[in-house]
């Protein structure tokens, strides 16, 4: 049976996943904290009122199935686990590329399928996949990361198309420049952090709490008619690229100020 107030989040030992687990527990969910880092999962779970730590690699089918058997059928699955192997593509080892695909994309599929099978048998459930703004726009030297995140966005649509009829509602959150998780080492440099903040229309980096709130909203009844969508939670940075390009003042004027220099106004 699906426990109506149960939520399982992968990659929950730290960063965004740990914050999703905390926010879910604060909202009254029984929480499954799943991570390949067993000690980290136990540490996160120990700080929550009603949580269980689950040690598993999302890329290993048998471990995923065993974790779901232990936790039971969740009302909500959050596919958050992910890794990155930085480096230019020309120098990227195939093993690194495959490792990222296995965890980010295959892991999302394996966990989603395992949960959806159980949810469908129990009458339904919700799945929220975590992609990235890099699934919309690439980042330099990110190896397979951007490709897998783009694939997760399409996989979300595929899951929603195939599973909605069984009562399993699937959506996706795409974080932007987040102060935490994988980006913590980058944002530790105060000068670099300030420079990154200036390119975000909202004027700040996102927080892990921003992402957790979006995830819990998509998992809630308030989003009941939202299906197969990807919610960008990026402070507007993905849409702002043209605002950083140089442009002549003449194109931003109105009336006579907008006409091409040396050309008379039209009559």
Catalytic residues: 145
Residue 78 β-bridge partners: 9, 128
Cβ neighbours of residue 111 under 8 Å, at least 6 residues apart? 10, 58, 64, 77, 79, 81
Please give the structure tokens belonging to residue 243.
């605002």
Q: How far apart are CA 19 and CA 146, in angstroms?
A: 23
The answer to whether 203 and 14 have CB atoms below 8 angstroms apart is no
Please give the structure tokens belonging to residue 104.
């980010």
Backbone angles phi, psi at 238, to 5 degrees: -65, -30
Q: How far apart are CA 26 and CA 95, in angstroms?
A: 39
Task: Compute the C-alpha angle 138/23/42, nearest 5°.
Answer: 90
Alpha helices for 61-144 (secondary structure H): 61-71, 94-100, 107-122
């Amino acid at each position: 049976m699906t426990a109506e107030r149960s939520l399982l989040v992968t990659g929950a030992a730290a960063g965004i996943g740990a914050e999703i687990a905390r926010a879910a527990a604060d909202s009254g969910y029984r929480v499954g904290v799943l991570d390949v880092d067993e000690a980290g999962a136990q540490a996160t779970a120990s700080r929550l009122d009603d949580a269980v730590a689950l040690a598993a690699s999302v890329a290993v089918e048998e471990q995923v199935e065993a974790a779901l058997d232990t936790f039971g059928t969740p009302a909500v699955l959050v596919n958050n686990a992910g890794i990155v192997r930085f480096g230019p593509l020309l120098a990227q080892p195939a093993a690194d590329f495959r490792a990222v695909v296995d965890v980010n994309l295959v892991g999302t599929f394996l966990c989603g399928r395992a949960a959806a099978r159980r949810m469908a048998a129990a009458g339904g459930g919700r799945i929220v996949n975590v992609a990235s703004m890099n699934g919309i726009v690439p980042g330099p030297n990110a190896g397979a990361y951007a490709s897998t995140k783009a694939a997760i966005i399409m996989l979300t649509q595929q899951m929603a198309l195939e599973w909605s009829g069984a009562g399993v509602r699937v959506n996706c959150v795409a974080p932007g420049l987040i102060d935490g998780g994988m980006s913590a080492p980058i944002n530790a440099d105060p000068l670099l952090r300030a420079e990154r903040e200036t390119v975000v229309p909202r004027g700040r980096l996102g927080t892990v709490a921003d992402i957790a709130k979006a995830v819990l909203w998509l998992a809630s009844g308030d989003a009941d008619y939202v299906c197969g969508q990807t919610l960008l939670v990026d402070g507007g940075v993905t849409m702002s690229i043209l605002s950083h390009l140089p442009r002549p003042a003449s194109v931003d004027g109105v009336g006579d100020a907008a006409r091409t220099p040396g050309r008379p106004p039209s009559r």
